[in-house]
A and B are shown apart, each in its own frame.
Chain A
Amino acid sequence: MKSSKVIEINHLSYHYPDGTAALKDVDFEVWEHESVAILGPNGAGKSTLLYHLNGTLMGDGSVTILGLPVEKSNLKEIRRRVGLVFQSPEDQLFCPTVFDDVAFGPLNMGLEMENVRREVEKALEMVGLKGFEGRSAHHLSEGEKKRVALATVLSMNSEILVFDEPTDNLDPAGSRLLVERIQSISRTKVIVTHHLAVAVDLCKRAVLLWGGRKVEDLPMEALLRNRTLLVQFGFDPDFAQWMCDRRKNSERIGT
C-alpha cells in the first residue's frame, strides 16, 4: 500500500532580498513516514528549502504540506504540524528554563497545563534528558542543548520533523547519541546534513542540491554506489563503499 504524500513542492524559486537566487525551479516531494536527506555544498540552498517547509520563507511556486497550501491563512496550522529544529540551539532555546522552552510550543497551541506537563516529560524522556526541567539552557553542554532543541519540537507532536544540520558542532559520541534518538522517532523526517554517515544512518532517500537546483533524487544505496556523483559532491567514495558493505552485512545478520 502506498502511503500518502505529505510534502509537495512544485517549481519553487526563491531570491534573497539582495537578488541572490537561492532556489531555482525545485520540485520535491516526501511521502508519509519517509526519511529524506538533503545533501549539497554550502550555499546550495538546503536551508532555504527547509525554511519553505513551515512558511518561514515563501518563494515563487507552490508548497503543499499535508494537503494544505503554504499561505498566510494556514501558517498556524502548518507550524503546528511541521517541527523545525534549527541549526544553532542558541536560536531555539530562549526561555529561562528547559521546562519553559519545551512547554513553549504546546502552550501556544492552547493545551491545558496538565497535558503540557505530560508532553514535556514525554519529550524530555525521548531525548534522554529527564530531570533537566529546572535547568537553564545556557549552562548545558552543546550536545544537551541540541537534544533540548529537539525536545522543544517533539513536545508539539508535529507530524513532520525537519532538521537543519542536527549533528553540527557535536563530538562523535554526542553525534551518535543524537542520531540514535532521531532514529527512534517514527515520523516523517527531512534532514539537511553535510555528514554522509549521518544521512546514511537516518535516511533511505537522498536529494542532492547544487547551486539552488535539485540535481538528483535517488535511493541512498544508489548514491553510495555512484562514484562520479560522490566525488562531485566532495564525499569519499571509498568511505561510501565501506558504509554500503556495512549496511549489507548488518542486514544479513539481522535476517
Chain B
Amino acid sequence: MKHAFLDHHSGIESPIHHLDARAKIIVFFSLILVGVSSQPSSFLLFGLLTLVLISIALLARLPLGHLAKKIVVILPFVFLVSLSIPFMKKDTLGGGYNLGLGGLSVSQSGLWILWNVVVKSCLGVFAMILLSSTTSFPQLIKGMERLRTPRIFTVLISFMYRYSFILIDEIHRMKRARDSRCFGGTWFWHSKVIGHMVGWLFLRSFHRGERVYLAMLSRGYQGTMPETTAGRFGLGELLFLLIIPIFIALRIYLG
C-alpha cells in the first residue's frame, strides 16, 4: 500500500541534505527563536530571515512552490485563533479604524498582534518544513538523540513514525471492507459503525504492540534502545552554524 512520506524531498542530493542533522536542528531552532523574540516592527529582520530560509531552500534544491503551499496550509489555523483580535482589542491611545459597519472598529494594536502572530508562525513553519524536507526522519531522530534529547521521547517518536503508516493502512483496509459491503444508512448507524471500527483499531494496535514487544524481547531487549551511529561534525556543519551568531547580532542590532 502507498502512503505519503512525512519526510518528502529528504532524499534529494544537496549540500544542505548532507549536513549533520544536529547542525540543522540547532540552526533552524535558533532562527525560530530569533524570529519569535523580535519586535513585530522589525521588518528588516523578518525580511532577512525569509531571505536566508529561501536561500537554504534553493541550495537544497527544494521546489519553492511546493514549500509555499505547505506554509499556506497552516494559515487557516493561525487566522482562526487571531483574526478576532483586531476587533476585540481596544486602543488606549486611539488610532483605530472605524469600518462604519454598525460600530465595528479595528484597533491598531490589535492589527499589530495579528501581524505578529501571522509573520512569526509562517517563519517558524517555514523553518520546520525546511528541516523535515532536508533531513530524513531516522536522521532527525538520531540528531535529537545525539543532542541529548531524553531517550524515552526519541524512542516514542520513532515508534510512532514506524507504526503510524501501518495503522493508516489498517484504517484503509477496514474502510475498504466496510464500503464493499454497501455501507450506507443514517448518521446514527454511521456513528455506531465508526465507533466499532475505532474499538477494533485500538484492539489491533494493542495486540500489535504486544507482538512487537515479544519480537524485541526475543532479540535480547532489556529496556534500553542501543546506540548505533557515531556523529560527524566537519567544516560544512561549522560554516552552517555561523548563521546563528550572525542572526543573534542582527537581532540585538535591529531589535
Interface residues of A, Cβ cutoff 8 Å to B: 51, 54, 56, 76, 79-80, 83-84, 86, 88, 90-92, 94-97, 99-100, 103-105, 107-109, 113, 116, 136-138, 152-153, 156
Contact = CB atoms under 8 A, between A and B. Distances in A.
B162 A91 contact: no
B172 to A, nearest CB: 14
A96 B163 CA distance: 10
Q: Would you call the interface of chain A mostly helix, strand, loop, or mixed?
A: helix
A90 B212 CA distance: 8
B203 interface: no
A105 B217 CA distance: 9
B220 A94 contact: no
Given A56-B214, A97-B138, A100-B228, A90 B220 contact: no
Nearest to B164: A138
Contact of A108 (B137, B161, B215, B222): B222
B208 interface: yes
B218 A84 contact: yes
Nearest to B226: A107
A91 B138 contact: no
A90 B161 contact: no
Interface string B214-238: 1111111110001110100000000
Interface in B101-134: none
A100 B215 CA distance: 14
B190 interface: no
Given A91-B212, A100-B228, A107-B226, A79 B217 contact: yes
Interface of B: 136-138, 141-142, 158-159, 161-163, 165-166, 208, 211-212, 214-222, 226-228, 230
A108 B159 contact: no
A99 B208 contact: no
Given A80-B220, A108-B221, A95 B158 contact: yes
B219 A153 contact: yes
A95 B162 contact: yes
Contacts of A96: 137-138, 141-142, 158, 161-162
Given A96-B138, A96-B141, A108-B222, A90 B208 contact: yes
B167 to A, nearest CB: 11
Nearest to B161: A96
Contacts of B219: 79, 104-105, 108, 152-153, 156
B146 to A, nearest CB: 14
Contact of B217 (A56, A83, A137): A56
A103 B225 CA distance: 11
A96 B159 CA distance: 8
B158 A79 contact: no
Most buried by A among B137, B142, B216: B216
